[in-house]
Amino acid sequence: MPVNRKNFIKHSAAALIGSVTFNKAASADFLLPVPALPESMGIVDPNDEQYWQLVRQQFPLTKDVAYLNNGTMGPSPYPVIEAVRKGMMDCDMFGNYGGWEATSGKLAKFVGANEDEIALTHNVTDGINIACWGLPLKKDDEVILTTHEHVGNALPWLNRRRVDGIVIKVFTPASTADETLNRITALYTKKTRAVAVPHIPCTQGQILPVKEICKWAKEKGIYAVIDGAHGPGMMPLDLHDMGCDTYASCCHKWMLGPKGTGFLYVRKDFMETLQPYFVGGGSDNAKWNMALKPIPMGEYANNAHRYYGGTQASGLYKGVDAAIDFIDSIGIENIHNRIKTLGKYVQDHLLSFGDKIELITPTEERSRCAVNGFRIKGVEYTKFYTMAAENKIRIRSVAENGLNSLRVSTHIYNNKQEIDKLMQVVANALKG
Ligand SMILES: Cc1ncc(COP(=O)(O)O)c(C=O)c1O
């Protein structure tokens, strides 16, 4: 059936009607993917609310609450959930085993890497640990991090400090990309071995100038190991162009895939440097044999599979495949533009309160996208978090690193009315 605007709307309306029956029965009726955009429509207008309303119908996410917390958990749309169910059925009905390896190729294409550079993991923390522990670091070697780390990028390095005596140096991200870069380069000493920063810190969602950071790291001969929890799905990515040595991410948040799935990109040439420690089925060339004397081990796999081993959740990875298809059907550029528009809408609203609100996310074009952090003068962040929850709005309070702030993150299932609702609560909080 040719896809035109009318069909698109009809198709998606069917998805809406069907979604009502989701809890009742495993009907396939509602499991329609977002139709591909017709060529003639070209790039979606990020302000085309009708289009985004149709996209919203693809999510079972409750409508009782305004969910503005994608930075913590990215809810999946129906096609992803269905792909997981089907993937599990294939496994559990027919005894099919494996098949998850194919997801590496799909992920690679999605993030601008090669298939052999993608290791499957369960979350960002897995990938960061593989990178952190695999680096050849010794006592007194210095690693640069931010004062805005998530526990997932803080603890592995702090643990390495405890075990191996490395030194952690920190900087606070600045309000411009240039100044952020200056703060990083100012920390450099002869002992600096790695820069281990988030692409987008969880605290206030500012986009760090990772390409420049990686370029600088290369010039200095130090490792660039990036925490990429928030990159994929928020913006188009080309990891080769970024120039990082490793990039750890998850497949839910902005990718909207199943929870408990993730990946680690390891630049092909970097595999000789990054030591695998966690190995098992698939991470070698199968030359080991415990019955021979001496017992041979063989070589590591000639790809990023050397960094993970054993049985994976094939159903979940079918969900990752479906999440990438879902994003592709809308277009990552369209998604990026839409969520950047919503992020700007949040910023403009917050700025309209004047000095009563402290916006902690930069307004600089290249440093902002879908996540905003702020404080309300005279209102405890925990108090406001509770007020928002009472008004059926889910945001995040940011207690880590003593930031004591609030965070709003908006994805494609959100709309301006939900943001208006939040801003009304801000206005009420300011009235006292
Ligand atoms: C910037 C950042 N790094 C790391 C993590 C840890 O992710 P995971 O729970 O998938 O390991 C998160 C999770 O929110 C994050 O936001």
Q: How far is the CA of 133 from the centre of ligand 1 (A)?
A: 17
Q: Are strands 167-171 and 142-146 parallel, antiparallel or unpaired?
A: parallel
- The string of pLDDT tens digits covering residues 169-182 is 999 999 999 999 99
Considering only CA atoms, which residue is closest to atom 1 of ligand 1?
202
* 54 CA → ligand 1 middle, Å: 29
Residue from 120, 125, 407 to probe ligand 1 pocket by mutation (most atoms less than 8 Å from CB): 125
Whether the CB of 124 sits within 6 Å of ligand 1: yes
**Ligand 1 test: best mutation among 250, 259, 400, most atoms within 8 Å of CB?**
250
- Supply the pLDDT for residue 178: 98
Number of the ligand 1 atom closest to the C-alpha atom of 201: 1
Does residue 203 have its Cβ closer than 6 Å to ligand 1?
Answer: no
| pTM for the full predicted model | 0.92
Cβ of 231 below 6 Å from ligand 1: no
Q: What is the pLDDT of residue 14?
A: 37
Low-confidence ranges of the chain (pLDDT < 50): 1-30, 37-40
Domain ranges, ordered by start, for the chain: 102-325
| Ligand 1 atom with minimal separation from the 227 CA | 3
Does the structural domain 102-325 have CATH classification 3.40.50.300? no
CB of 123 sitting under 6 A from ligand 1:
yes
**How many CB atoms sit inside 10 A of residue 143's CB?**
25
pLDDT at residue 10, as a whole number: 39
Q: Is 152 in the pocket of ligand 1 (CB under 6 A)?
A: yes
Closest alpha carbon to 203 in 399, 379, 411 = 399
